[in-house]
Chain A
Amino acid sequence: MTTVTLTVNGRPASADVDARTLLVQLLREHLHLTGTHVGCDTSQCGACVVHVNGRAVKSCTMLALQAEGAKVVTIEGVASNGKLHPMQEAFREHHGLQCGFCTPGMIMSALDIVNRKGNNLDEHTIREELEGNLCRCTGYHNIVKAIAAGAKAMR
């Protein structure tokens, strides 16, 4: 067992983990943050996307120990003081989710897209940038709309 110490959603966190513990397992099993999901084992579905030091990362493809000292933000840390983030609001307003399972990863990826590409996102860009996030329910139509609107609202 090795101790990993990091910051999660602005708060210090630490846990004793086996070396083979993935970051997503640290979040879900040790820190009880179950909003980050696991949908595949080949790093493709994106249900597990979180931000590590400000960048979107697939937490199922990173060891917990690799996140030593890192600042991690999960879906639970996106709203502040009980107020939904504009991107969360946009997903609700535009019906950008159905079963909700891919949604945390979608929102974390959406925020990363805005961080990198700005607030004015056209449909083509959003679709290309969502390459690493699978949704089986929505056909992406409303996710694309939600991200465009959420990006604008973040200005």
Chain B
Amino acid sequence: MYSFAYHRAKNVKDAAALLKKADDAKLLAGGQTLIPTLKQRLAGPGALIDLGGVKELTGIALKGKVLVIGAMTRHAEVANSKVVKKAIPALAELAEAIGDPAVRNVGTIGGSVANNDPAADYPAACLALGATIVTSKRKIPADKYFKGLFETALADDEIITAVEFPLPKKAGYAKFPNQASRYALVGVFASTGPAGTRVAVTGAGESGVFRVAEMEKALDKNFSAKSLDGIAVKPRGLNTDIHASAEYRAHLIGVMAKRAVAAA
């Protein structure tokens, strides 16, 4: 790691102030991606602002027909939350499949959404459920939030405070993990509800999470796996790497979409 200054924020205001003041600072949420990145000297921020002590960023609550998850809520907490399991079981299942148990004990939803790894799970859920990313400054609809590989709509001095998920009528997530990293090789989140009928795909796209209009149209008529018969996603725009070809990923999107819908 390059050397850096460490600050432990007391609250969001404090964190925002530190972020503004410090030169080239980065927020430290769970650190499950950031710390390995720092260790390999792939990043060298001048300061880290640890959000670990900010109580107002944690917690899960159902507010009317919206599930609100604090940014610093750990994956394990989402996975085990009775509230989440009842409100959006697919989201609890998604959280249960992130990383491994020790990573889930530390990694956070805010960290994941802020990082926008193209193979992370949460971006698919946010996009498919029509979530809102709540920050220290504003509310950003998921549709306008994810901007490509590791790119988001967040400003440099903006802090995610929570993610709001409108409750869907039905939702399911099916993940096909990369054998090595266990990130999503292809992950498909399908839902129907207040945000309409949506199918979001993570892990496969050259520019990160994306929606599949043709599938959404078919599912909007009838939200069943059968509706997806005959819909083939094209390999163009999908990743080819040592783990999988674009053709295979395209095929898997079809398979995983059906499984996601069936699980919903």
Contacts and interface: CB of A to CB of B under 8 A. Distances in A.
B48 A132 contact: no
B32 interface: yes
A18 B4 CA distance: 9
Contacts, number: 78
What is the size category of the interface that chain A forms with chain B?
A: 20 to 34
A4 to B, nearest CB: 10
A19 B102 contact: no
A44 B101 CA distance: 11
Interface string B28-45: 100110011011100000
B101 A113 contact: yes
Interface string A43-69: 110100100000111101111011010
How would you classify the secondary structure of chain A's contact residues: helix, strand, loop or mixed?
mixed
Nearest to A131: B100
A155 interface: no
A66 B52 CA distance: 7
B31 A41 contact: no
Contact of B101 (A18, A41, A129): A129
B25 to A, nearest CB: 12
Interface in B1-39: 1-6, 8, 28, 31-32, 35-36, 38-39
A74 interface: no
Contacts of B38: 20
A81 interface: no
Contacts of B181: 44
B143 interface: no
Interface residues of B, number: 28
A136 interface: no
A65 B35 contact: no
Contact of B102 (A20, A41, A66, A132): A132
Given A61-B31, A61-B32, A61-B36, A43 B103 contact: yes
Given A42-B36, A131-B182, A66 B3 contact: no
B3 A116 contact: no
Contact of A109 (B36, B99, B102): B102
Given A41-B36, A65-B8, A112-B101, A20 B3 contact: yes
B3 A43 contact: no
A131 B101 contact: yes
Nearest to A68: B8
Given A20-B4, A55-B105, A66-B52, A132 B35 contact: no
Nearest to B106: A57
Given A56-B105, A57-B105, A132-B99, A18 B35 contact: no
In this complex, which of A18, A66, A133 has the most chain B Cβ atoms within 10 angstroms of its Cβ?
A: A66
A112 B100 CA distance: 12
Given A19-B4, A61-B31, A62-B106, 7 more contacts: A46-B102, A61-B106, A63-B28, A63-B35, A112-B101, A112-B102, A132-B103
Interface of B: 1-6, 8, 28, 31-32, 35-36, 38-40, 48, 50, 52, 76, 99-103, 105-106, 181-182
Interface of A: 2, 18-20, 22, 41-44, 46, 49, 55-58, 60-63, 65-66, 68, 109, 112-113, 116, 129, 131-133
22 contacts: A19-B4, A19-B48, A20-B1, A20-B4, A41-B36, A41-B40, A43-B103, A46-B100, A56-B105, A58-B102, A58-B103, A58-B106, A61-B32, A63-B31, A68-B8, A109-B101, A112-B101, A112-B102, A116-B101, A129-B101, A132-B102, A133-B100
